[in-house]
Amino acid sequence: MHDATPLIATIVGGLVLAFIFGALAHRVRLPVIAGYLVAGVVAGPFTPGYVADAHIAQELADLGVILLMFGVGLHFSLKDLLAVKNISIPGAAVQMGVATGLGMLLGWMLGWPMAQGFVFGLALSVASTVVLLRAMEERRLLDSDRGRIAVGWLIVEDLAMVLALVLLPALAGFLGGNAGGAATPTTGELVQTVAITIGKVVLFVAVMLVIGKRAIPWMLQAVSGTGSRELFRLAVLAIALGVAFGAAHLFDVSFELGAFFAGMMMGESKLSQQAAEETLPLRDAFAVLFFVSIGMLFNPHILVQQPWLVLAACFIIIVGKSVAAFAIVRLFGRPTKTALTIATSLAQIGEFSFILAGLGVSLGLLSEEARDILLAAAIVSILVNPLLFVALDRWVAKHDADAPDEHPDMRGHTVLVGFGRVGRRVFAELQATGAPVLVIETDEDAVRDLREHGGADIVIGNAAAAPVLAEANLGSARALIVTVPDPFEGGQVVRAARAARPDLPIVARAHSPDCVSHLAGLGASEVVYGEQELARSMFEAAQPRPAHGGH
C-alpha cells in the first residue's frame, strides 16, 4: 500500500476532519465554520497527532477564494460595480484608514515601532472575502443593493492590498525593516513603483473590458455547441483559473481580482447561470479547506500569553471597523438596515491579513508575536461573525425599515417563499385566481418588483426564522409554497413551518429523487420534481389529439 502524498493526505484529512467537527458544531447549534476552524487546529502543528501540510493547505485555500470570487463575478456586472462606486471607494478608504489608525494607536500604547503598528493596523483593516461572501450567499443578498455595496467595498480593499503588497518591500528599508539587501528607494523611484503598479491594474481592466468581454462569452458559447457537459465544465474552470493566474503573473494583480473580472466577463454570456452551477460544488469544497487552513495557523498558546492584546485587536476588528463602516454608510444616506449589514460583513479579517502579516515578518516590519496576535484575533472574529449575522437577521425581521410594521390579519392566504423565476410564475397563477398571497423574500430587488406588481403582502427575511413565519401569520394560512431551488435551504423552511403548524399543506420543489425524499422527510405534503413534471408534460403533448367533426 502506497503512502499518501502530502497533497492527498491534506485534502482527505482536511475534508474528513471538517466534516466531523462541522457536524458536531451543527449538533450543538454553533456555526459550522466553528467546526471547520477547530478541524484546522487539530490538523495544525500546535496540537498533537496528525499534522497536515500547511503550505499545500494554503494553496488549496487560495483555489477556493479564486473560485468564490469567480462565482461572485458571474452575478455581477460592470454597471453594478459602477453603481456603488460613490459609496464603496470613499467608504472602504475611510474605514481602512480608521482601522489602521486604531492599530497604530494600540502599537504606540505598547511601545511598538511605528512601522509595526502601521502593518498591524493595515492587516486589521481588510475583511475576509470568503467569510463575507458566504454570509451574503446564505442570505441571498449578493444581488441586492446591500450585497453590491459589500462586493464593491471588497474590490476596493483588494486593490488597496495589491498596492500595499507591492510597496511594502520597496519601503521596508525606509520604515526600519530589511529590504533583502536592497537599497532604500528614492522618492522618484517610489513614485515610479506606484505609477507602474496602478498602470498594470488599469491595463488589466482595459484588456478584460475590450478583449475578455467578447472572447470569454464567445468561447463559452462555442464549447456549449459541442454538446459535451464535461467540456463545458472544464472550459468554465479553465477560464476562471487561467485568467486569475494570468492576472497575477502578467499584471501583478491578485488572483482574487483576476477571477472576479473573469466571472464578470463570463456573466455577459447567456450561459452564465449554468457556469455558476457547474462551479458550485468545487467552490464549496475549497471554501471548507480555506477555513481549515486558517485553523492550522492558529497557536492556542497566544490566548494564554497575551489575552488582553488579542481582545484589543478583536475590539478594533469587531467594534472599531463596524462603527466606522456604519457611520460612513449612514452619512451617504443609506438605510439603517444597509449600514448594519455592511458593518456586520466587515467585522472580521482573513486571507489578505495573513498574507500581509507574513510579508511583514519576512521584511522585519512585524514581530512574530504581533503576527500570532493577529491570527488569534482573526480566528475569534470569524467565529463571532456568524453570530453577529444571526443578531442582524433578528433585527431586520423585527425592524425592517422598508416593510410595514404590521400586516393585515390575513386568513385563507397562501404563503409563497421566494420570488425567483419559479416563484414569479406561481405568484402570477395565484393572482389570477384572486386568492390572497403573502410573499416571503430576502432580495431587495425582488421586493421592489413585488411592490410594483401589487396585490401581495410582503415579509422581508429568512423564511426559516420563527419571527418571520409568525409575521406571515402561518396559523391562518391556506397553504405554504416553497419555491427556493436549494434543497437544504428549502428543507429548513419546510421543517420550521411544519413545526409551527403540523396540519399546514406544504408544497416544495426538487431537482432529484433524493431531494424529494429529503423534503418529504422534513414535512412537505407534496414535492414537485421538476424533471418528472417536464416528462409528463412532454408525454401529454406528444399524444395524438382526437379529430374534430368525425362523428
| Most confident residue range from 345-349, 352-356, 406-410 | 345-349
- Given the C-alpha cell 493526505, which residue does it identify? 9
- Paired strand residues for 439: 416, 458
**Which of the four pLDDT bands, split at 50, 70 and 90, describes residue 400?**
low
- Given the C-alpha cell 456555526, which residue does it identify? 31
Give yes or no for residue 137 having a pLDDT over 80.
no
Question: What digits encode the pLDDT tens for the residues 272-304?
Answer: 777 877 777 888 888 888 888 888 888 888 888
**From 3-17, 185-199, 348-362, the region with the lowest mean pLDDT:** 185-199
* Amino acid 54: pLDDT: 82
* Amino acid 425: pLDDT: 87
**Which of the four pLDDT bands, split at 50, 70 and 90, describes residue 172?**
confident
> Which class is domain 6-199+280-399?
mainly alpha
Distance CA 381, CA 350 (A): 9
When pLDDT is averaged across residues 119-129 and rounded to a whole number, the result is 91
Are 238 and 227 in contact by the 8 Å Cβ rule? The answer is no
Distance CA 515, CA 525 (A): 14
**Domain-wise residue ranges, the chain:** 6-199+280-399, 414-542
Are 201 and 253 in contact by the 8 Å Cβ rule? The answer is yes
* Amino acid 185: pLDDT: 66
**Which of the four pLDDT bands, split at 50, 70 and 90, describes residue 68?**
confident
* Amino acid 405: pLDDT: 39
* Amino acid 485: pLDDT: 80
When pLDDT is averaged across residues 417-423 and rounded to a whole number, the result is 84
Are 46 and 238 in contact by the 8 Å Cβ rule? The answer is no
Average model confidence (pLDDT) for the chain? 83
DSSP code at position 28 = T
- Given the C-alpha cell 488579542, which residue does it identify? 310
Give yes or no for residue 159 having a pLDDT over 50.
yes
* Amino acid 316: pLDDT: 95
Question: What digits encode the pLDDT tens for the residues 447-457?
Answer: 777 777 665 67
Give yes or no for residue 98 having a pLDDT over 90.
yes
**From 163-172, 239-248, 395-404, 407-416, the region with the lowest mean pLDDT:** 395-404
Tell me which of 204 and 467 has the higher pLDDT. Answer: 204
Specify whether the backbone of 409 is left (phi greater than 0), alpha (psi in -120 to 50) or beta.
beta
Is the Cα torsion angle 148, 151, 155, 156 positive or negative in sign?
A: positive
479-482 β-sheet, strand order: 457-460, 437-441, 414-417, 479-482, 506-510, 526-529
* Whether the predicted model's global pTM rises above the 0.95 cut: no
**Which of the four pLDDT bands, split at 50, 70 and 90, describes residue 409?**
low
Tell me which of 348 and 268 has the higher pLDDT. Answer: 348
Architecture of the domain delimited by 414-542: 3-Layer(aba) Sandwich (3.40)
Cell of 223: 464549447
When pLDDT is averaged across residues 216-241 and rounded to a whole number, the result is 87
Give yes or no for residue 123 having a pLDDT over 60.
yes
Give yes or no for residue 399 having a pLDDT over 90.
no
* Amino acid 548: pLDDT: 57
DSSP code at position 52 = -
| Phi, psi torsion values for 103, nearest 5 degrees | -65, -40
**Which of the four pLDDT bands, split at 50, 70 and 90, describes residue 406?**
very low
User: Cα-Cα-Cα-Cα dihedral of 236, 241, 243, 249, to 10°?
Assistant: -170
* Amino acid 455: pLDDT: 59
When pLDDT is averaged across residues 478-506 and rounded to a whole number, the result is 87
